[in-house]
């Protein structure tokens, strides 16, 4: 993929006429979200990661949290009305969502899962998250994200 090539997430945003900024850090060798924020010269509180979980009901849930925070499993379970939740196994991510670990985006999953974004996202005009492929990020306002992803804002981090 060339540095100018579009990801499916970018195509979805364009189809819905949603403005976005795109970033890439291809060939930078970074792996953690905090490193991504650093390479992009962005506030790690504004760069978000997408986590996929499974609840005791066997339903899947998506949580979007700042890269420098950890998901609080108790708060997350409460936010989605589950007794408890756990992270899905890495090998289950691709068949379930269409994305691989490190390139998971809340936009464009194979199936729309109940999505919760950490309430801290409200502190920013826009948030930055994976564009659906390792090395690519998009920056979108919550208002515009709501046009493609049905989500709630809740306190879900440690």
Q: What is the DSSP string of 64-112?
A: EEETTS-B-HHHHHHHTT-S-EEEPPHHHHHHHHS--TT---SSS-SSP
pLDDT, mean of residues 123-141: 97
Residues 6+ apart with CB under 8 A from 103: 130, 132, 133, 134, 135, 136
The domain spans of the chain are 8-154
pLDDT for 4: 63
Q: What is the DSSP string of 117-151?
A: EEGGGGGSS-EEEE-SSTTEEEEE-HHHHTTT--E
pLDDT for 44: 97
pLDDT for 154: 98
Residue 12 CA to residue 97 CA, distance in Å, equals 15
Using one digit for the tens of pLDDT, what is the confidence trace for 90-124? 999 999 999 999 999 999 999 999 999 999 999 99
Q: What's the chain's average pLDDT?
A: 95
pTM of the predicted model as reported, rounded to 2 decimal places: 0.95
pLDDT for 5: 79
pLDDT band at 1 (very low <50, low <70, confident <90, very high): very low
pLDDT for 26: 83
- Which fold would CATH assign to domain 8-154? YbaK protein (3.90.960)
Residue 38 CA to residue 33 CA, distance in Å, equals 9
Residue 39 CA to residue 42 CA, distance in Å, equals 8
User: Which residues does residue 23 pair with via DSSP β-bridges, in sequence order?
Assistant: 137
């Amino acid at each position: 993929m060339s540095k100018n090539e579009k990801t499916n997430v970018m195509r979805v945003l364009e189809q819905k006429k949603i403005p976005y900024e795109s970033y890439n850090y291809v060939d930078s060798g970074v792996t953690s979200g905090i490193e991504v924020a650093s390479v992009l010269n962005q506030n790690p509180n504004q760069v978000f990661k997408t986590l996929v979980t499974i609840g005791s009901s066997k339903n899947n849930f998506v949580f979007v949290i700042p890269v420098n925070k950890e998901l609080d499993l108790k708060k997350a379970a409460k936010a989605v009305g589950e007794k408890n939740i756990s992270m899905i196994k890495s090998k289950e991510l691709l068949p379930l969502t269409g994305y691989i670990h490190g390139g998971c985006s809340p936009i464009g999953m194979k199936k729309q899962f109940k999505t919760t974004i950490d309430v801290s996202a409200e502190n920013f005009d826009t948030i930055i998250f994976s564009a659906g492929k390792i090395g690519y990020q998009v920056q979108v306002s919550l208002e515009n994200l709501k046009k493609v992803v049905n989500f709630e804002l809740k306190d879900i981090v440690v």
